[in-house]
Amino acid sequence: MDLDNLTKSQLREILRTCRGFPAQKLKSKRKSAGHAPMAHATTAHLHGTRPEPYKKGQTFDDFKKAVTYKSKFYMLEDMVNALWLMLQKSAGKSALRSLSAGSRKKVTAKVGALFDVEVYVEKIGRVKFTKGDQSKAGRSHTKCLAILEGRDRNGVLYLHVQTFYPILDDGFINELLNLKTA
């Protein structure tokens, strides 16, 4: 697969594949429970959670603040367009060029377009923010994070998207919530 010239249709198929297939098979540690090997779909990882779980030395308040919401693209087509725009940036191109089988690259970039996003806010639930909502709040771009992985299949390098989601900071989410309720 030519990773330098990925098309939107190829990215759509990559994202669909990453979403639908189990990420890995795990054997249950409780043999007495009689559970068969389990698998979980990558759907849980694809949209991701901001940020990573607890880190050594982090206070509980820092951890609690860090995991107050999850964000994802509202539609697959928005996700495809955002990923394509991200891979056109120098950070995306550099990550694709240096990708090898079994390696992962973290890419963060601002793409010059807005996309409908869904955010899970504690004590409120899921909230959809449209492009119009974000525009009213003064945003003109979307900051995204992707973790790309190279996979070798019969000597050919393929792209696997481990996770990809829009990054929205707490202050911006609060501003969007205030605009929605006003």
Do 47 and 151 form a contact (C-beta atoms < 8 A)?
A: no
pLDDT average, residue stretch 103-122: 91
- Please state whether the predicted TM-score (pTM) of the whole model is above 0.85: no
The pLDDT confidence band at residue 61, using thresholds 50, 70 and 90, is low
Q: What is the pLDDT of residue 43?
A: 45
Give pLDDT, residue 62.
Answer: 63
Partner residues linked to 148 by β-bridges = 105, 161
User: pLDDT confidence of 32, banded at 50, 70, 90?
Assistant: very low
* pLDDT surpasses 90 at 69: no
Distances (CA, A) of 45 to 56, 63, 123, 124, 154: 22, 19, 22, 22, 26
Quote the tokens at residue 6: 């990925």
Please check the confidence at residue 103 and state whether its pLDDT lies above 60. yes
What is the mean predicted confidence (pLDDT) over 14-39?
50
Q: What pLDDT band is residue 64 in, cutting at 50, 70 and 90?
A: low
Q: Which whole number is the average pLDDT over 95-111?
A: 93
Lowest mean pLDDT among 28-37, 77-86, 125-134, 150-159: 28-37
Measured distance CA(170)–CA(81) in Å, rounded: 24
Q: Chain centroid to CA 46: how far?
A: 5
